[in-house]
Amino acid sequence: ETGVTQTPRHLVMGMTNKKSLKCEQHLGHNAMYWYKQSAKKPLELMFVYNFKEQTENNSVPSRFSPECPNSSHLFLHLHTLQPEDSALYLCASSQMSSGGTDTQYFGPGTRLTVL
Amino acid sequence: AQTVTQSQPEMSVQEAETVTLSCTYDTSESDYYLFWYKQPPSRQMILVIRQEAYKQQNATENRFSVNFQKAAKSFSLKISDSQLGDAAMYFCAYRSPENYGGATNKLIFGTGTLLAVQP
């Protein structure tokens, strides 16, 4: 596979469930990101990992827990979510380098529905 | 804080015609990067074009070009010879200069413009 992949593509879960979203990048990048895309709102950055270290937590509730075991994989663990957490969750990766444009490349997203 | 505004929620263009999508931003920084992303109904966000603020020349990628007006903080996207495959949501995004080794690489997005292409 090439680029950035995400699984599952669709997920329906109850508020008491625990689930995980997976992202994998095949681009050799050193940074990965989680974004939330809700209807009628700009994409919201949730987390940033640079060289496997979390460098930003954009005031995300603790019911979202990221994990970055290596520079190619990123997870988002979900537990006790709320219906307002229903959204499209996008993963992205980039190559951070001094002076570079550092373009982010996105995966296809996971459509999450919380009942 | 930086903000990005896309004032056109929806636009429509006839096939083979030209359309311009507007984007304005607010920043106090002098150096930064601007991007246009396309998100078709399949949802994969694709980079269309990017512009470095220190470059005066407008970026061009085939049928896509930008009109970058730094003083006006305007970054519009022009699509020439529109094709049916251009139908998508288009997002304008801003990124601060990178601070390699520590700071985040945060993209700030506008709310998007939904472009319809009429045959």
Give tens-digit pLDDT for B19-77. 999 999 999 888 889 999 999 987 789 999 999 998 889 999 999 999 999 999 999 99
Distance from CA of A105 to the nearest CA of B (A): 7
Please give the C-alpha separations between residue A14 and each of A17, A35, A67, B51, in angstroms, as whole numbers: 5, 21, 22, 43
Distance from CA of A57 to the nearest CA of B (A): 10
What per-residue confidence (pLDDT) applies to A54? Answer: 73
SS3 B111: coil
8 Å CB contact of A97 and B100 = yes
Q: Which residues of A touch B47 (CB under 8 A)?
A: 103-105
Distance from CA of A48 to the nearest CA of B (A): 7
Q: By the 8 A CB rule, do B106 and B96 touch? A: yes
8 Å CB contact of B106 and A107 = no
**Across-strand partners of B39?**
B89
Q: Average pLDDT, stretch B85-106?
A: 77
What per-residue confidence (pLDDT) applies to A95? Answer: 87
User: Comparing C-alpha atoms, which of A6, A1, A11 is closest to residue A92?
Assistant: A6
Q: Which residues of B touch A97 (CB under 8 A)?
A: 98, 100
Please give the C-alpha separations between residue A63 and each of A19, A27, A77, A110, B37, in angstroms, as whole numbers: 11, 29, 8, 17, 29
Q: Which residues of A touch B98 (CB under 8 A)?
A: 96-100, 102
pLDDT in tens, chain A (115 residues): 579 999 999 999 988 889 999 999 999 998 899 999 998 788 899 998 887 677 777 789 999 999 999 989 999 999 999 999 999 999 999 987 766 567 899 999 999 999 9
User: Comparing C-alpha atoms, which of A51, A37, A42, A50 is closest to residue A87?
Assistant: A37
Quote the CA–CA distance of B41 and B56 in Å, as a whole number.
33
